[in-house]
Structure 1
Amino acid sequence: MTDSKVKNEEQHRSNDEWLQVESLDLDAQGVAHKANGMVVFIEGALPFEQVQLNVHRKKNNWEQGTVTKIGRESSQRVRPGCPHFGLHAGACGGCKMQHLDAAAQVAVKQRALEDNLWHLGKVRPENILRPLEGPAWHYRYRARLSVRHVIKKGTVLIGFHERKSRYLADMKVCPVLPRQVSDMLMPLRALIGSLDARDTCPQIELACGDAPDGLQLGVIALVLRHLEPLSGADVDRLKAFAAQHEGVQWWLQAKGPDTVKLLEEGGPALAYELPEFGVRMPFKPTDFTQVNPHINRVLVGRALRLLDVRPDERVIDWFCGLGNFTLPLASRAREVLGIEGSDTLVGRATDNFERNRPATAARRALAATRFVARNLFEMTPEMLVADGAAEKWLVDPPREGAFALAKAVADLHQQPELRAGWVPPKRIVYVSCNPSTLARDAGLLVHQAGYRCTFAGVVNMFPHTAHVESIAVFDLA
């Protein structure tokens, strides 16, 4: 037997030692220690369980494996809500925590946030916010679904990849997608299988909008990526499918995102509601919007209450996107500046502002608001001073965080001669989709820019996944 085969057998050998699971990491793996002190990461295991595992990866100071036996089961273990979730062959890799009670998932994410803030940023929030939670199922209004015509199986697969695999899961339902979309998966598979272009359509991007009342699902936009021009017969098949399924709009994407176009003009516009602020936000299906509209409404409300904007204050919304926070801010502040890296999104945000600007029965006219495009990953103290002082900031960066922005604030704090009359904001509300970059930026703001982290808490934007969304408040000391 060759050395490689021996090593392979050793790595996949069942471990008869019972291990006590101590915690859950951000990949939803149970964390335990062997008697010799080695760290073990165990897929499918939950905190406080006693388990045995099958080791499939081994390094000098850690091992990774999959649970094979549970001697003592956690009281937080629940039956998964999806038949495609699990550790079995072909299981979908879209969710990681369906076996854990939804409330316990939030507790795990809260601990991850606090651990990141302390270990990476040496920051402890003065107050922990109550977690923001919403529906645990049928919440996902955005998704990128892969498409494969599998000739050997004689079928088309549509959905997410298998757990730790490049192959697509054979998904018949998906309980995290809106119910209408989940029910549509099998008809969609049949439709793609009937197309002449079934071998050259690798992806369908899903984007759902609210109905005008804001209480139910409205438009279901399906963006079909096609590598070759579609035949007239295929276009007719897509139109017939849309006619049979309420709310469906087909968009076609021949190349990059800028080539996306509506197949049939007319019909309702794709948009979402922020009813607390009397705002309706039209968007294109490839624009960035929050995956979970239920949580987004609550998140925007909490962010504005934490920011506590006064009618005489100027506010800057960094990484403003379509204006998700900017327009609600304009319903409270004297003046708002929205700054975003994408010219396209700046144009869309400007259009949304003009559309929503007039006063309504529920609110005053939106305050003076301006949008500018700028590379926010190359911010400097000089650029910050040029944008002018503002009493409050809202910061909502992508996963990379807002390091350049935080560094510029820190530099101005430590070098007063650069300020030229500029004063830092009294309060910053930071909405994060990555606890590690939030912790890094928090460390800068607290230890080098003169701020206190007064509040922090998690936002369960993605139930059943290991994704941690959070919100933190920084007050000038």
Structure 2
Amino acid sequence: MANFFQVSNKKSVKAQEKQKLTVKVERLDSNGCGVAYYQSKPVFIHGTLPNENVDAKVVEQKSKYTLAKLLTINKASQHRVIAKCQHFTLCGGCDIQHLEYSQQLDFKKNKIIELFSRSGVAGNIVATLPWQAPIVSSPWEYRRKARIGVQFDKHSQATIGFRQKATNQLAAIKSCPVLVEPAANIFPLLKTLINKLSVKKAIGHIEIISTDDLDTTDLATVDINSTTKPLKKLTLIIRQIRAINEHDRKLWQEYAEKNCWNIYFQTNDSNKENINKSSLVSADSLSYRLANGIQINFSSTDFIQINQQVNMAMVEQALDWLSPQKNDDILDLFCGLGNFSLPLAQQAKQVIGVEGVQSMVDKASANAKFNHIDNCRFFQADLNSEWLSNAWAKHEFNKVLLDPARAGAEFAVEQVIKLNIPTILYVSCDPTTLARDSQLLILKGYKIEKIGLIDMFSQTKHVETMVLFNR
């Protein structure tokens, strides 16, 4: 009778995982990770670029692939640059800081092309996609909203920062070059403040939002033709898992006054308490503006586009590509706060905006009223279910804009096709679902007239796209 022992196999696996490889990186995968091959098996090595010759240590062996850690770059890519952030190799926020910016755009464009090909879009269509100039901003200091994590060690000392790559542990951040200027260097201040608190572990996380310092009561006070950058204010939402005491409240007040912060505490009951008693602005009355003078008011928990400059350019391009006319009835699906709906309504006959969350519908309606736009109405509906029976869907729309979440708009697209709307503008934040939904439209007789990158998240793997379809 034969005896089989697992121990020797484990030793073999451990030995393999200590193996050192010298390989040539062939390409980047969809996450921006370098892919090499060793004995015909793909080896994934973070921090590497195509055409680099590297030494790497195997850290995990799988049946179909190998994970390895970069040790030495023997021959560097001509497109490699020094990462601007000192935390790049540890922090999980950015993926491709080591790749020069023009090549980042090429990587994202090729990612879309590859996913379109995989989805079944005809090869001749993919080869002749009518690419337009990408929407870009400064690749640094662009992010106006972020969630900062807070963790404590056994000595109750705080770690302030973002999650490390592939783990829930935080990287201790000193500064973040993709955050806008009021927020980029806030981390040491927060660390010092939190370590002074008497009840430190009451803090779950801290949301930071940088917005235009606008008047939320009178649009006439905003000079939309001014070349001066609008003043910025920094709002902090402190997530408290239990009530704050008077000592800690005064400490936060001191830092808020010294650094010109608006600070609010959010507890388990979702109530927000403003410690800036003299401030007229609350966590539920933040705002940003668009290039055409429209002001979007929102609260701290609402979704907004995190790159203000790109958002403004994106709205302008949507207006240009859809070319709204005075006789157009336009449907805006997944409309949010009215980011696209309100600018479109300024030029169209009528815009109907539809959103799944009633509170967002209410705020979009309030934004229309605030901006004195009376030809734009908003409705609540689950766009991932049947909605053609709704009264608002009975209009004779000739144009539609879709701006779905990462899950895409498959069911909504199927119903839009039934409405026989001739012009469709699709704004996507996920190329996989965009490819799937584009295939549906192409099979039903739509043609891609224009397609362009939207670089909302520079230095990262994330890709946003705008596509214009005509029947």
Query: Above 0.5 in TM-score?
Result: yes
Say whether residues 1:242 and 2:246 are aligned partners. Answer: no
Deviations 1:140-191 (A, max 9, x none): 1011111112234x53111101222221111111111122212221111111
Which of 338, 342, 345 lines up with 1:323 in the alignment?
Answer: 338
Instruction: Note if 1:252 corresponds to 2:258.
Output: no
Shift of 1:24: 1.1
* Whole-Å separation in 2 of the counterparts to 1:23 and 1:457: 23
**Alignment match, 1:456:** 451
Deviations 1:378-426 (A, max 9, x none): 135545984422111111000111011112234x3xxxxxxxxxx5222
Structure 1 residue ranges without an equivalent (≥5): 358-365, 413-422
Aligned to 2:286: 270
Structure 1 counterpart SS, 2:435: helix
Query: The residue matched to 1:203 in structure 2 has which SS?
Result: strand
Aligned mate of 1:391, from 393, 398, 415: 398
Among 7, 10, 20, the alignment partner of 1:14 is 20
Q: Displacement, 1:2?
A: 5.2
Contact 1:273/1:280 (<8 A) preserved: yes
Rounded to whole Å, the distance in 2 between the matches of 1:175 and 1:392 is 39
Counterpart in the other structure of 2:148: 145
User: Matches of 1:217 and 1:433 in 2, distance apart?
Assistant: 29
- Asked whether the equivalents of residues 286 and 299 of structure 2 are also in contact (C-alpha less than 8 Å), the reply is yes
- Alignment counterpart, residue 383 of structure 2, candidates 373, 376, 388: 376
The 5 A counterparts of 1:67-466 are 67-86=70-89, 91-122=90-121, 124=125, 126-152=129-155, 155-212=157-214, 215-246=229-260, 248-255=261-268, 258-265=270-277, 266-268=279-281, 269-275=285-291, 277-357=292-372, 366=373, 368-383=375-390, 386-410=393-417, 412=418, 423-447=419-443, 449-466=444-461
Name the SS of the counterpart of 2:316 in structure 1: helix
1:402–1:383 distance in 2 versus 1, CA, 3 Å = farther
The separation in 1 between residues aligned to 2:231 and 2:101, in whole angstroms, is: 23
Partner deviation per Cα, 1:287-317 (whole Å, 9 max, x = no partner)? 1000111110011111111111111101111
How far is the alpha carbon of 1:130 from its aligned partner? 1.2
Aligned equivalents of 1:235 and 1:140: distance in 2? 28
Q: Scaled by the length of structure 2, what TM-score is found?
A: 0.90
Q: Aligned in 2, Cα 1:383/1:51: closer, same or farther, shift over 3 Å?
A: farther
Shift of residue 333, structure 1, vs aligned partner: 0.5
Normalised by the size of structure 1, how large is the TM-score?
Answer: 0.89
CA RMSD of aligned residues (A): 1.9
Q: What does the per-residue CA deviation read over 1:246-271, in whole Å, with 9 as the maximum and x for residues that have no partner?
A: 2x111221126x43443335344521
SS of 1:76's equivalent in the other structure is coil
Paired AA for residue 18 in structure 1: V
Q: Does the aligned pair in 1 maintain the 2:182–2:232 contact within 8 Å?
A: no
SS in 2 for 1:166: coil
SS at match of 2:203: coil
Q: Deviations over 1:185-208 (max 9, x none)?
A: 111111112222311211001111
Does the aligned pair in 2 maintain the 1:133–1:295 contact within 8 Å?
Answer: yes
Residues in 1 aligned to 2:464 and 2:209: alpha-carbon distance in whole angstroms:
20
Instruction: Tell me if structure 1 keeps the 8 A contact 2:182–2:233.
Output: no
CA–CA distance in structure 2, aligned partners of residues 102 and 138 of structure 1? 14
1:118-147 superposed Cα distances (whole Å, 9 cap, x missing partner): 212415353012111111111110111111
Q: Where in structure 2 are there 5+ consecutive unaligned residues?
A: 1-6, 215-222
Distance 1:3 1:384 in 2: 66
> For residue 218 of structure 2, what is the aligned residue in structure 1?
none
Give a deviation string over 1:71-114, Cα, whole Å, max 9, x none: 2211110011111112xxxx211111111111111110011111
* 1:28 and 2:43 aligned: no
- SS of aligned partner of 2:50: coil
Letter paired with 2:160: I
Amino acid across the alignment from 2:263: W
Q: 1:184-233: CA deviations, max 9, x gaps?
A: 21111111122223112110011111134682452211111111111122
Any conservation in 1 of the 2:56–2:72 contact (CA below 8 Å)? yes
Call closer, same or farther: CA 1:168–1:2 in 2, change over 3 Å. Answer: farther
Whether contact under 8 Å (1:206, 1:220) holds in the other structure is yes
CA drift at 1:64: 2.0
Alpha carbons of 1:22 and 1:328: their partners in 2 closer, same or farther (altered >3 Å)?
same
Change (3 A) 1:51 1:294: same
CA distance, structure 1, for counterparts of residue 85 and residue 10 of structure 2: 37
